[in-house]
Chains A and B, each alone.
Chain A
Amino acid sequence: MRYLIAGCLLLMLAASAQAADHEPICILCHDADTMKPEFRKIPAAWRTSWHYRNGVACNDCHGGDAADAALAMSRERGFVGAPKPQAVPEFCGKCHIGILKNYLESGHGKALKASGRGPNCVTCHGSHDIQKANVDIINEQRCTQCHTYDRARAMKQALSGTEQKLRDVESALQKLSSQGMYTAEEEKTLFRTEAEFRTLFHTVDVPLVKERTDGFDHQLAVLQNRADSLFVELRARKNFSGFLTLVFVAGGAVAYLLAKTYR
């Protein structure tokens, strides 16, 4: 028995951890079998979304109390259900303020306001399964639902070069981060640049886009240079610690041989 207890001896010493998935309480009902199928698919769609990856929960858009089932859909707690098409821009614009302004001034926004039939945010971006925006949202299939593709094509061409540079910088920063380099400041600058660039999308104004992409390209070039210099720094670090490894390997080998041959 003593041995049995002793056998467990080394299986000890502190620490229990359990991941706590903090999902809003809304999910409890929306995942339930009794929920209508069109509402039941919402949690799964949301979990695949860019919002989910960035911690944007149901109540961040729809309001209500995400911690109390009884008040989850309380109007007093600011609950808003699915907005009507005309109310969608303001619904999303609570957070995407700059984009809302540009959208409302664009042809798309004016059309929606005038006729109630223009494209709103979800027309292009979807709703619960919303993904990170990129220039491919502008495509012939989507745009020709309402008008010809000529103007949209010109817009896409004007944006594509900058979009590629955005992707390149993003990928470089991710690579640096995965190798232990702190790139928080650069990521913030990239985020700001990207947000401003996305705002530009929504003007649907080709001459303006062409005029301003130079500015974005310059900001991205600065970031790319910074990323390149960090890669150089990373290589230098690697070389230095690699050199130290060799020094200690050589030192260890000398000491070992001396120990073996001393007598």
Chain B
Amino acid sequence: MVKKILNWIEVRIGLGELIRTHLTGYLVPVNINIFHTLGLVALSGFIVQVLTGILLLTYYVPQPEYAFKSVQNIMVSVPYGWLFRLMHVVGSNLIVIAVGSHMLSVFFMNSYKKPRELTWFSGASMLLITLTFCLSGYLLPWSQLSYWATTIVTNIPSAIPVFGAITVKCLQGGQSVSGITLGRFFALHVVVMPLLLLTSLSLHLFLIRRIGIATPPLGRKEEKRPWAAFHHEDHPGGYPFFPDFVLKETSMVMAFFALMFLVITFAPTLFLPDDANIPADPFKTPAHIKPEWYFLAPYQMLKVVPNKFVGISLQGIMVALFFLWPFLDVKKEDNLLKRRVLFSVFIATLLGWVVLTIWGKYS
């Protein structure tokens, strides 16, 4: 009976051929490593965000009078609402780590080079989208923490000459963060950003599948064909994507979720400090507001640079360079360890980021 059904499907869509082409017969580089699984880890995290987000959306009310109460209701009264919300909150933070680590590993392995400039660009877009996701979602609980952090962040563009004031007004929908801002951020979080992410993700996956997985510069070497014209980068002698690489990816995805539930079990308030439990009060500014940990480094950097406009401009230039880096780095050598200067800058940057984050946290 099962054989008949499978045969019925096979005749119509050629399932066997699909599996052979894209799974069992699709070979990945023989020296592929654990860092190549981070993309799927991040994707799994996004899928969980969508699912838990839909569940939260069922009970959440995006109006200042009800937003905080509805989140309380989710945490206290809705069956397993606490679990879905904590998965959403903890998951969003872990996704930032996963996407960031993915970008770092791609940078370290020089996998952004020709012909993968567009793959890098779409990945960088997704990092930016992830952070915007986090930022827009931050306001939705309408707590003291979210209200005042958003007030500060949405006022940053005011340092930009000419367009600053209008940008702030567009973001806030008025003179300050209000119900209009909440509506805008809600629309951004549940409609605009998911569409943008889906677009970037589709492009990213298409490019990976179309061009092929980059051969890592470390470990056993494969012979590489020069890239004169487009061709799919094959890996003869490599491992099948399924089951070999999928099993490796599965173990990492499991580790990601194990970490998520570990945080939920032993540190459920790690990303929800006391101010996140107090409803927003526009007339009462909390004593010390800090952005989320992933914004601490740029936050501290802006504090260190004496002129706000210069600080913002500097960060804008850096974002542009980050996106365009594959077009600027034209050296053929793809082993970062053999490029002393770039490697030193890479390590110094990582250390600088950590220092600025800690400095920002305790300043």
Contacts and interface: CB of A to CB of B under 8 A. Distances in A.
Co-assembled chains A and B: yes
B10 to A, nearest CB: 26
B298 A6 contact: no
Contacts of B265: 238, 241-242, 245
A258 interface: yes
B289 to A, nearest CB: 5
B82 A11 contact: no
Contact of A7 (B75, B243, B257, B349): B349
Interface residues of B, number: 71
B304 to A, nearest CB: 10
Interface residues of A, number: 47
A262 B82 contact: no
A182 B277 contact: yes
A231 to B, nearest CB: 14
B325 A6 contact: yes
Contacts, number: 177
Nearest to A256: B251
Interface in A239-263: 240-242, 244-245, 248-249, 251-253, 255-256, 258-259, 262-263
Interface stretch (A16-24, A35-43, A60-68, A156-164): A16-24
A20 B152 CA distance: 10
A172 to B, nearest CB: 16
Contact of A182 (B72, B315, B319): B72
Nearest to B69: A184
Contacts of A14: 131, 135, 153, 156, 295, 298, 315
Interface string B104-124: 000000000000000000000
A13 interface: yes
A237 interface: yes
14 contacts: A8-B352, A9-B349, A15-B153, A16-B291, A17-B152, A17-B153, A17-B289, A17-B299, A18-B152, A18-B289, A237-B268, A249-B254, A252-B251, A259-B244
Interface of A: 2-22, 55, 177-182, 184, 237-238, 240-242, 244-245, 248-249, 251-253, 255-256, 258-259, 262-263
